[in-house]
Structure 1
Amino acid sequence: MREPPPRRWLHVRCLRPYCGREALIDPAARFGAGARWPAAGLSRRFVCRCGGRAAHVSYGDGKPKPDNPCGWL
């Protein structure tokens, strides 16, 4: 029996100076079909708690680490 492919995660990091907030999001649950997912790189689609609108978006595979909680959105 084959294992399912690893889950794809969206990593969003605020680019405002002195803000270290970041979020790990399941893009399929948040945005639906893959065509609606944000592109990797600079994005102004997210708003941080600090008020920053510029964010760096990247994608990763696998499981998130439980000792690295991300509570940004």
Structure 2
Amino acid sequence: MVESRGAKEDMRLKRSFRRIMESGTHNLSAEDLSTHLTSLELKVKSKQANIAGLQVADMVAHPARRWCFRHFFNMVDTRQTF
């Protein structure tokens, strides 16, 4: 499940998710993915739905992104998060 970003972006994300689920990745086969993920269809919810799991994902993802940019790309994000 992901938060909606806009009609075009949502459709691109859904297509990419389906392609990965059907073809796999360099590291995981489609069979491996299907044993752990229950659907070929990505669920998209609006931010207004205020789903707790998506809020937690936002809180975890942003610091992880900042860490990756700093350690792997030597880039510092100076924007305030909260």
Report TM bin, short chain. under 0.3
Please report the TM-score for the alignment, with normalisation by the length of structure 1.
Answer: 0.27
More strand by share: 1
Please state which structure has a larger fraction of its residues in helix.
2
> Which structure is higher in RCO with an 8 Å CA cutoff and minimum separation 6?
1
Question: Which structure has the larger Rg?
Answer: 2
